Amino acid sequence: MRLDAAQLARFHEDGFLILPKLFSVAEVELMRAQLPALFAQSCPENFREKGSGAVRTAMALHRRNEVYARLVRHPRLLEPALQILGEDVYIQQVKVNAKEAFSGEIWQWHYDFATHHGEDGVPQPRALNLHVFLDEVNEFNGPLVFIRGSHKRGPVRTSLDTVTTSYPLWTVDNVTVTELVTEGGFVSAKGPPGTALIFGDTLVHGSSINMSPWPRRIFSLIVNPVSNALTREKRPDYQHHRDLTPVVALADDCLFTGVAA
């Protein structure tokens, strides 16, 4: 799958691209069916909310489950990433971010490169985040909110927040967020299950709590050029993988018939 010229232009201008219904209902149902067993595991890869104890983030899924081992090699995710980056990539991080009904916590205003650079020593903000909605994402259940065009500023100042939620995060201060929103405005990334998102490493984004009776689970694959790999092993391997083998796409029907390489 390749992006057309208009999609590429939109990505570079806005810092993100929304691809509605990129995956079918059957494919999403298969992905979703894997989650109860994965979330039930007691392991450090599963980060849990401070209050409810529900899984907030489940990491390294491709090492724990065969369906996700194939999903990280899916051509509908990898081929657009390779088209944008123009070189081999490795699998940097794999997770599902979950917001349980009525209790899902916020993600503060942040951009991913602050963590990738500050914690992992990634030299340049070239990693791409590739998302797939596993549930409908609407205005009530904590959608991602992007600040359009905020990537054009490059890395803005951040500070490490270890208090607000169970997941430490390098966050952007309110003054900077206000400036960025004045320039670009908010965009709420919503859509049906199977919708995909692509966004870059310096795009400022966040999400509110889930006050609805509907869960909101989003699959996330971060890929990074092999030439831009981590230089520091401060975080555990499940938060930034050490295997720099270039990832190769499988067949388009790999979720049902493929075998991970």
Q: What is the pLDDT of residue 179?
A: 96
Average pLDDT, the chain: 95
Pairwise CA distance, residues 100 & 186, whole Å: 24
Residues 96/61, Cβ–Cβ less than 8 Å = yes
Residue 216 maps to a domain: yes
Q: Is residue 20 over pLDDT 70?
A: yes
Query: Where residue 168 sits, what CATH number does that domain have?
Result: 2.60.120.620
Q: What is the pLDDT of residue 210?
A: 94
Query: What amino acid is encoded at 201 in this protein?
Result: D
The string of pLDDT tens digits covering residues 87-98 is: 999 999 999 999
Pairwise CA distance, residues 76 & 78, whole Å: 6
Q: Is residue 260 over pLDDT 60?
A: no
Give the whole-number percent of the chain exceeding pLDDT 90.
Answer: 89
Q: Which residues pair with 188 in a beta bridge?
A: 145
Torsion of CA 247, 238, 235, 46, to 10 degrees: 150
Q: How many residues can be counted in the chain?
A: 261
Q: What is the pLDDT of residue 136?
A: 97
Which residues, including other chains, have CB under 8 Å from residue 16's CB and lie 6 or more apart?
146, 148, 187, 189, 197, 198, 199, 200, 203
Q: Residue range 71-75: average pLDDT?
A: 98
Characterise 140 by phi-psi region: left (phi > 0), alpha (psi -120 to 50), beta (else): alpha
Q: What's the structural domain count of the chain?
A: 1
Q: Is residue 165 over pLDDT 80?
A: no
Q: Locate tokens 């791409």: which residue?
A: 128
Q: Is residue 215 over pLDDT 80?
A: yes
Q: What is the pLDDT of residue 49?
A: 86
Q: What is the pLDDT of residue 258?
A: 52
Residue 136 maps to a domain: yes
Residue 261 maps to a domain: no
Residue 110 maps to a domain: yes
Q: Locate tokens 């908010």: which residue?
A: 186
Which of 56, 57, 58, 53 is CA-nearest to residue 38?
A: 58
Q: Is residue 141 over pLDDT 80?
A: yes
Residue 133 maps to a domain: yes
Q: How far is CA 2 from the centre of its chain?
A: 20
* Reported pTM: 0.94
Give the whole-number percent of the chain exceeding pLDDT 70.
Answer: 98
**DSSP assigned state of 104:** P
Q: Cα(first)–Cα(last) distance of the chain, in Å?
A: 20
Residue 101 maps to a domain: yes
Range of the domain at 194: 5-42+53-228
Residue 196 maps to a domain: yes
Pairwise CA distance, residues 249 & 75, whole Å: 5
Residue 83 maps to a domain: yes
The string of pLDDT tens digits covering residues 26-39 is: 999 999 999 999 99
Q: Is residue 259 over pLDDT 70?
A: no
Pairwise CA distance, residues 26 & 15, whole Å: 30
Q: What is the pLDDT of residue 261?
A: 42
